[in-house]
A and B are shown apart, each in its own frame.
Chain A
């Protein structure tokens, strides 16, 4: 049984059909890189999985249970955590408070305030600082740490490198190594194809709301993914998806 399964998911923003009939399954310990151009539906898909966006059709199954109608906070308690695009920190609260507020779920696991600070040493230096005053990289590390505080079984990372300097992106991914090394199950939305292909075990490419290419990262070439990304040779790419 898959840890996370999405079945024929549809999601809309008003008249815009953002996610169309998307299905995939994720086993424990897998890292799925979800790539695609802006507006491909990646963020909406992640938000639908996390419960932040109500899908218009299809199902989300977590650990065998249908969680499609379950509220976001309850999905977190069951083990699905989202690091949202743009970090969405509680800017008036300190780094410490941002982490502790997520620790209220009290899910058992390896992550707590101390282990998160061990994995993200820079946060220890800024623990008493307001999160709104941090740099982009520090904010992203806080957002990932905050999600880890819920001890997720599936971590959904939405554009963790967006708007960050190359140095900050490297720093964030260095910190993420500790999370990856812990055997976490991750769905990663990333614009940086090279980076996504380097850390993912599987890749799914979205185009206009659909998954047009999916498979093991080790089996795919960068050219294949790039072509699917931009909608070139779409029919071939769809064929490769299976």
Chain B
């Protein structure tokens, strides 16, 4: 049973890695913690749901239609909001993306109401079918596909960054935007392209969220927390670390639920806290500084 729970945790971790991918990419390249990340995922879930319902097509086809829209939104978001925010210090992007999340959540509530929705009915048997695993247990087909998509996306992004001219330009700009300008790179356009790519990954994650569970206008913040925890556990800005972070979070939650009925969320948060504290201490800060920071955060 424990082995099965670990396996289910790994698959759940695939979803967390998928939802965290865009957050990690954006932080790694743009140095922005996008607090609207979860809300944007839910926004794309609604977009896919609307397209699928209106055109009576599969959510996977609807996603293909939504991806360019989200890419354009990412480009615009960077050029109109994030670029200006970044110029005003580290706190402004946090505030502006928090504000954006509030706007998105409430516009969705205004437009769609509080009803929960899901894309599960639109994908038929895929929503609940599973394959048996030798030695007992089973793996959900959708969960396995989600894990595969997460791995493929992270591998694809890594290859893109390492092997393509735009990928190299993104890495160069991320490392030193001023020098990037001096070798002919338009850092504003490169950042906007990175933001567009991040929102494409968020759209994919939002669609899988909508296929595996229900969502409503206020689902975003919870998804942001899971994504944030996966990114921090795996190491901020590292794509491979995000996959590992997602898996660690998923396994911890599943094992936690076996220990106690309420243990699912607590175990995940506990692992996040332990990793965060370990990073804090390894960075040379004293335990007293950590406690002071925690007291400050709770005050």
- Which residues of A approach B to under 8 Å, CB–CB? 50-52, 71-74, 76-77, 81-82, 84, 88, 90-93, 97, 100-102, 104-105, 146-147, 149-150
Contact B182 A97 (CB under 8 A): no
CB < 8 Å: which of A81, A92, A93 contacts B182?
A: A81
Contact B184 A102 (CB under 8 A): yes
With A104-B165, A104-B169 as contacts: A84 and B182 at CB distance below 8 Å: yes
Contact B186 A73 (CB under 8 A): yes
Contact B181 A101 (CB under 8 A): no
Contact A97 B176 (CB under 8 A): no
Contact A73 B179 (CB under 8 A): no
Contact A72 B175 (CB under 8 A): no
B269 at interface, CB cutoff 8 A:
no
- Which residues of B approach A to under 8 Å, CB–CB? 165, 168-169, 171-172, 175-176, 178-187
Please name all residues of chain B whose beta carbon is closer than 8 Å to the beta carbon of A84 when the two chains form the complex. 179, 182
Contact B165 A100 (CB under 8 A): yes
Complex Cα distance, B250 from A77, in Å, reads 48
Complex Cα distance, B178 from A50, in Å, reads 11
Closest chain A CB from B238 CB (angstroms): 12
Contact A97 B181 (CB under 8 A): no
**Closest partner residue, chain A, to B178 (CB atom):** A52
Contact B184 A51 (CB under 8 A): no
Closest chain A CB from B243 CB (angstroms): 20
With A73-B187, A76-B184 as contacts: A88 and B176 at CB distance below 8 Å: yes
Closest chain B CB from A80 CB (angstroms): 10
CB < 8 Å: which of A51, A92, A146 contacts B171?
A: A92
Complex Cα distance, B98 from A13, in Å, reads 34
Please name all residues of chain B whose beta carbon is closer than 8 Å to the beta carbon of A51 when the two chains form the complex. 181
With A90-B171, A90-B176 as contacts: A146 and B181 at CB distance below 8 Å: no
Contact B184 A104 (CB under 8 A): yes
**Closest partner residue, chain B, to A78 (CB atom):** B184
With A93-B171, A93-B172, A104-B165 as contacts: A88 and B179 at CB distance below 8 Å: yes
Contact B185 A73 (CB under 8 A): yes
CB < 8 Å: which of A77, A91, A97, A149 contacts B168?
A: A97
Contact B175 A101 (CB under 8 A): no
Contact B171 A72 (CB under 8 A): no
Contact B175 A146 (CB under 8 A): no
CB < 8 Å: which of A50, A97, A101 contacts B185?
A: A101
Complex Cα distance, B181 from A74, in Å, reads 8
In the A-B complex, the 9 residue pairs with the smallest Cβ-Cβ separation, listed nearest first, are A105-B184, A76-B184, A102-B183, A72-B181, A88-B179, A101-B168, A73-B181, A73-B186, A101-B172
* Residue of A72, A92, A93, A147 contacting most chain B CB atoms (<10 Å): A72
Please name all residues of chain B whose beta carbon is closer than 8 Å to the beta carbon of A97 when the two chains form the complex. 168, 171
Closest chain B CB from A155 CB (angstroms): 12
Closest chain B CB from A132 CB (angstroms): 10
Please name all residues of chain B whose beta carbon is closer than 8 Å to the beta carbon of A71 when the two chains form the complex. 181, 186
CB < 8 Å: which of B165, B182, B186 contacts A82?
A: B182
Complex Cα distance, B182 from A118, in Å, reads 23
Q: List 11 A-B contacts (CB under 8 A).
A: A73-B180, A73-B182, A76-B181, A81-B183, A82-B182, A84-B179, A97-B168, A101-B168, A101-B171, A101-B185, A104-B184
Complex Cα distance, B148 from A120, in Å, reads 44
**Closest partner residue, chain A, to B183 (CB atom):** A102
Please name all residues of chain B whose beta carbon is closer than 8 Å to the beta carbon of A76 when the two chains form the complex. 181-184
Please name all residues of chain B whose beta carbon is closer than 8 Å to the beta carbon of A77 when the two chains form the complex. 184
| 9 extra A-B contacts, CB within 8 A, seeds A52-B182, A104-B165, A147-B183 | A52-B181, A72-B181, A73-B187, A74-B186, A88-B176, A101-B168, A101-B180, A104-B169, A150-B184
Please name all residues of chain A whose beta carbon is closer than 8 Å to the beta carbon of B183 when the two chains form the complex. 76, 81, 101-102, 104-105, 146-147, 149-150
Complex Cα distance, B181 from A73, in Å, reads 5
With A92-B171, A93-B168 as contacts: A104 and B176 at CB distance below 8 Å: no
Complex Cα distance, B187 from A76, in Å, reads 13
CB < 8 Å: which of A91, A147, A149 contacts B175?
A: A91
Contact A92 B175 (CB under 8 A): yes
Complex Cα distance, B172 from A52, in Å, reads 16
Please name all residues of chain A whose beta carbon is closer than 8 Å to the beta carbon of B165 when the two chains form the complex. 100-101, 104
Please name all residues of chain B whose beta carbon is closer than 8 Å to the beta carbon of A50 when the two chains form the complex. 182
Contact B181 A100 (CB under 8 A): no
Complex Cα distance, B175 from A90, in Å, reads 7
Please name all residues of chain B whose beta carbon is closer than 8 Å to the beta carbon of A92 when the two chains form the complex. 171, 175
